[in-house]
């Protein structure tokens, strides 16, 4: 059998040496300490995401997360009540919160992607027989409303309702829709898509309908904890979100789960 020539051997050695730095660079491209990323979300927010059992999520946000994260990072979901999710992110116990609104208070402890994950228009849900019309925010005055614990709708509307409206911040989307159906509150503000999904999947005594809430923050983002070793990923993740958004992937995911989402 003919032995390789010296030139062939040298070529093989040079090829191996050339590839080694590339392999090392690929492995070292992850931030130090970010081999595993702990993430969470609002446990009741379909079709974007919803909890499955005590240690998992499903939904458009979760599928999008897998598309934008480096494949070599282990993604670990943890399920908690929404307010606790935000607290644990502030403490650095959670690395990433998916699909939430970017407001100044959250910027104290989260670094948000520059590009959105999804559009998320807000809506005022009312009983169809209430006669309520919402052309301006002040149309909600003298009415009793509710939002879920931890929800926010942008600095402008949040500041307005705290000064001018009678809104109780309590419970979850499920609980607040029950209060609305029972007539204990006059309206409930939440995301249009999660709210519409809920009333399509759950029987209510009274017909409930969404009204547009003009001027509220309509986009949701990914937010990295400032105490997380994974926070240097925010720029690359944001670029990837932008690429997918421009291709229409984010909207396709949302429509997919609007049609096929299982009841949380």
CA–CA separation, 102 and 92 (whole Å) = 18
pLDDT digits (tens, 9 = 90+) for 50-69: 999 989 999 999 999 999 99
Q: Do domains 36-119+219-260 and 122-212 have the same CATH topology?
A: yes
- Parse the chain into domains and list their residue ranges: 36-119+219-260, 122-212
Band (pLDDT 50/70/90 cuts) for residue 94 is: very high
- Domain 36-119+219-260 adopts which CATH fold? D-Maltodextrin-Binding Protein; domain 2 (3.40.190)
259 pLDDT more than 50? yes
Query: What's the CATH code, domain 122-212?
Result: 3.40.190.10
pLDDT attached to residue 50: 94
In whole angstroms, give the CA distance from residue 251 to residue 118. 7
Strand-pair category, 122-127 with 219-225: unpaired
Query: With 50 as the cut, is the pLDDT of residue 27 above it?
Result: no
pLDDT, one tens digit per residue, over 8-26 is 545 555 554 444 443 333 3
Tokens of 15: 């090829």
**Average pLDDT along the chain:** 89
Q: What pLDDT, on the 0 to 100 scale, is given for residue 241? A: 98
Q: Would the pTM count as exceeding 0.85? A: no
């Amino acid at each position: 059998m003919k032995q390789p020539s010296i030139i062939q051997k040298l070529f093989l050695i040079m090829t191996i040496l050339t590839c080694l730095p590339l392999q090392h660079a690929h492995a070292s491209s992850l931030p130090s300490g970010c081999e595993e990323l702990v993430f969470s979300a609002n446990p009741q927010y379909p079709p974007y995401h919803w909890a499955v059992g005590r240690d998992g999520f499903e939904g458009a946000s979760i599928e999008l997360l897998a598309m934008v994260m480096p494949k070599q990072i282990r993604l670990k979901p943890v399920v908690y009540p929404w307010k606790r999710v935000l607290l644990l992110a502030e403490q650095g116990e959670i690395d990433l919160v998916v699909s939430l609104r970017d407001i100044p208070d959250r910027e104290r402890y989260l670094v948000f992607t520059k590009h959105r994950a999804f559009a998320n228009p807000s809506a005022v849900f009312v009983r169809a027989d209430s006669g309520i019309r919402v052309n301006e925010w002040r149309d909600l005055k003298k009415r009793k409303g509710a939002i879920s614990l931890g929800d926010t709708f942008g600095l402008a509307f949040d500041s307005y309702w705290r000064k001018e409206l009678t809104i109780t911040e309590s419970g979850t989307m499920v609980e607040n829709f029950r209060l609305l159906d029972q007539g204990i509150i006059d309206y409930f503000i939440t995301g249009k898509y999660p709210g519409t999904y809920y009333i399509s999947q759950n029987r209510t005594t009274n017909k409930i309908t969404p009204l547009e809430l003009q001027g509220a923050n309509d986009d949701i983002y990914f937010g990295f904890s400032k105490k997380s070793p994974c926070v240097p990923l925010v720029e690359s993740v944001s670029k990837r979100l932008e690429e997918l958004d421009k291709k229409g992937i984010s909207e396709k995911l949302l429509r997919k789960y609007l049609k096929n989402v299982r009841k949380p």
